[in-house]
Amino acid sequence: MNPPFAVLDPLLERAPQILRDLLTSHLPEPWRWFVNSLLAIIVILAVFGFLFAALTLAERKILGRVQNRPGPNRTGPFGLLQPIADGIKMLSKEDIVPRDADHLLHFLAPVTLLASSILAFAVIPYGRNLVPVDMDASVLYFFAVGATTELAVFMAGWSSHNKYSLLAAMRALAQLISYELPLLLSWLPIVMISGTLSTTGIVAAQSGWRWGWMPTWHIFTPWGFAGFMVFMVAALAESNRSPFDLPEAESELIAGHLTEYSGCKYVFFFMAEYFGMIALSGMAVTLFLGGWHAPLPSLEFIPSYVWFAAKLLTLLFGFIWIRATFPRLRIDQLTRFAWKFLVPLALINLGTAAFWSLSAGWSGPFHLARWAVAVALVVVPFVVMGRRLSGGVAPRTYSFAA
């Protein structure tokens, strides 16, 4: 722990560390590290396990409200006990494994998926000094672990010995290859600008204020905004969320790779999907939205982890809102959108960030020119390529329907 921080921070800000030290300070030195790590794991599992349960309920409630119905409200007050009822139902179901399935892979797929999605939580800074593992290349680690989840989806589809599952697995692979690239390209500018692959370093690079009030978060720069948009679209695809939920497309593939899973294993998949969504949102907050920094200097008295939670929940609401709005894409639309639109945009964005980095010393009227050029570099390709993307395709004309 940094001594200057420890002196400056109010009591609430240091509350997690104080609680941890109360529990572990009396332990001998070699044990302390081990118990501290164990505590971090337990807290992450408990907090995000609870968030998962709350999120399933919140999602159903919000979807209901969007569709002009109240959503689940029968179990407990306002339906608050619904996640518990769902959990009991799922855990008491029979675990069915198809006779011709590859039993080992069929068992390993949900375990791998859940494990890799939990691993991703290790490097996100949840608050000031609140990062479970502070490593040098934590962003790289995060996306390497994130790519494993798609492999697990393919394992599930292949081992089920079911044509729908296999189709879902093929789609998952196509989606992985298509969207991994824009996802990685979207955060590369941040590494370029802040000069570090460490999440704590990236958050530290976003501290401070422009003109005394505007936070220097990456999203408030032209390249950062473009990168954030590309990142969120790719994150939707990576976490298999609507409108990119092609692998589990309920209406066409009868839940795809989940077809042959029931009971506890199904819960693992479900949990991993939400964990992946939470982890990607947490990474988006870290990379683009200033991590745990407060949005205004006057609001800095609120503890950092509260700000992180607020930003995370806002992004999660955005995920649910998008799910409530957009219909699912076709597989060809999905890949075309990634290769012909997101990848070029992300590449151009890399150039924009390079320009931003080179023009850092410009001042006076040149400062305005810097903003104008950077904004043009983001908007013009978007408009031009957007025209090309929808040219000849939309608006669609129908031969028989009016």
Residues binding other proteins (CB under 8 A): 62, 65-70, 73, 321-322, 324-326, 382-383, 385-387, 389-390
Q: Which residue has the tokens 């030195």?
A: 29
Closest CB to other proteins among residues 325, 357 = 325
**CB-based contacts of 357: which residues, under 8 Å, 6+ apart?**
192, 193
Closest CB to other proteins among residues 261, 319 = 319
Q: Tell the smallest beta-carbon distance from residue 290 to other proteins (Å).
A: 24
Q: Tell the smallest beta-carbon distance from residue 68 to other proteins (Å).
A: 5
Closest CB to other proteins among residues 17, 73 = 73
How far is 389 from 385, CA to CA, in rounded Å?
6
How far is 167 from 121, CA to CA, in rounded Å?
30
Beta strands per DSSP E along 38-193: none
Q: Tell the smallest beta-carbon distance from residue 171 to other proteins (Å).
A: 22
Closest CB to other proteins among residues 70, 195 = 70
Q: Tell the smallest beta-carbon distance from residue 105 to other proteins (Å).
A: 38
Helix, strand or coil, per DSSP, at residue 300:
coil
Q: Tell the smallest beta-carbon distance from residue 59 to other proteins (Å).
A: 13
Q: For residues 277 and 240, is the Cβ–Cβ distance under 8 A?
A: no
Q: Tell the smallest beta-carbon distance from residue 70 to other proteins (Å).
A: 5
Closest CB to other proteins among residues 31, 326 = 326
How far is 167 from 169, CA to CA, in rounded Å?
5
How far is 206 from 194, CA to CA, in rounded Å?
9
Q: Tell the smallest beta-carbon distance from residue 79 to other proteins (Å).
A: 12
Beta strands per DSSP E along 109-162: none
Q: For residues 370 and 362, is the Cβ–Cβ distance under 8 A?
A: yes
Q: Tell the smallest beta-carbon distance from residue 135 to other proteins (Å).
A: 37
- 63 token code pair: 């979807």
Nearest to 37 by CA among 20, 14, 12: 20
Closest CB to other proteins among residues 55, 109 = 55
- 351 token code pair: 């150039």
Closest CB to other proteins among residues 68, 251 = 68
With residue 214 as reference, give the H or E element that holds it. Answer: strand 214-215
Nearest to 115 by CA among 276, 336, 292, 266: 276
Closest CB to other proteins among residues 135, 324 = 324
Q: What is the helix, strand, coil percentage profile of the chain, to 5? A: 70, 0, 25
